[in-house]
Amino acid sequence: MKGVFLDYASIDSGDLDRSLLAASLESWDWHDASDPGQVAGRIHGADIVVSNKVALDRTVLAGAPDLKLICIAATGTDKIDLDAARERGIQVSNVVRYATPAVVQHVFSLILALSTKLIPYHEEVKAGEWQAQGNFCLLNHPIREIAGKTLGIVGAGELGQGVARVAECFGMQVLFARRPGSRGPQPGRIPLQELLPQVDVLSLHVPLAENTRGLLGAAELALMKPDALLINTARGGILDEAALAHALRQGHLGGAGIDVLAQEPPADDNPLLAPDIPNLILTPHTAWASREARQRLLDEIAQNITAFRQGRARNCVNCSPS
């Protein structure tokens, strides 16, 4: 069987061992990246395709008659037309739980950096402000303890639960939002509109879907406390970036830690890249990207392929319920 990896460089910068994945098939084509115009030609004749962020839509899939399995090198499925794949008998498998330690670590890196004003103080030391004044310390920026504060979490899956466990170790109270668009009972969950005014920190952990796209806009941000922190390590499309930039400029939020943007890589005119936005930390979609997490991801893809070849549907996201 032949496999094609469409965007291998999005996972491996040369520090991973891909031997398990390489051994899962007799033949591989490895591509560091694939432009949209290259995808159809590259997957034609392939039995298995691996994609991290390369879109595979209905038209592209129609030109790949031999394709039997799509392995998403991620958890989110928004880049794959799952219905079209199902109609063509193509199984789609993703990878789950591989990056939980890395994402949780990143979330609290952002929360703690914003709460302690880590970056402003670091910049002031480099600029000589500590050395130039007579006091033994600088007190130019207010520092907040997170113990006793309330953390709101949107998304109670693997990542949301992982963040909640660590938050409790810091002495935070945790509230979970009711899942957007849900109709059934969810005991202990609070509707988002009621949760937002209560939290000191809000952390997003939902996939990008029709019921989460644009979930937080100007109206929702206006419900939050003026000193609240917003953390997004989920997907950029969940959040109105222009509304967030405005809220930070106007002092309607205490700060934000953002790891994901609606367009990646972003255009230079993205509203969150403006140099005058205060209390904002931007990271380039690296919350998931520890070496350990990326190695687990490669090995999990290999296991998905091996299971498929043995007739087992492992981590299948478009299989009919049994």
Q: In terms of C-beta density within 10 A (0-12 exposed, 13-18 middle, 19 or more buried), how is residue 165 classed? A: exposed
Choose, from 264, 291, 292, 312, the residue flagged as catalytic. 264
264 flagged as catalytic: yes
Choose, from 42, 235, 252, 294, the residue flagged as catalytic. 235
Q: Which residues pair with 190 in a beta bridge?
A: 177
Please name the residues in contact with 203: beta carbons below 8 A apart, sequence gap of 6 or more. 107, 111, 151, 152, 153, 154, 160, 163, 231, 232, 233
Q: Is the dihedral of CA 283, 284, 285, 290 positive or negative?
A: negative
Choose, from 42, 106, 285, 296, the residue flagged as catalytic. 285
235 flagged as catalytic: yes
Q: Which long-range contacts (CB under 8 A, 24 or more apart) does 116-123 make?
A: 116/143, 116/144, 117/141, 117/142, 117/143, 119/281
Distance set, CA 79 to CA 15, 53, 59, 98, 288 (Å): 26, 6, 13, 19, 18
Nearest to 317 by CA among 154, 162, 135, 90: 90
Residues that are catalytic: 235, 264, 285
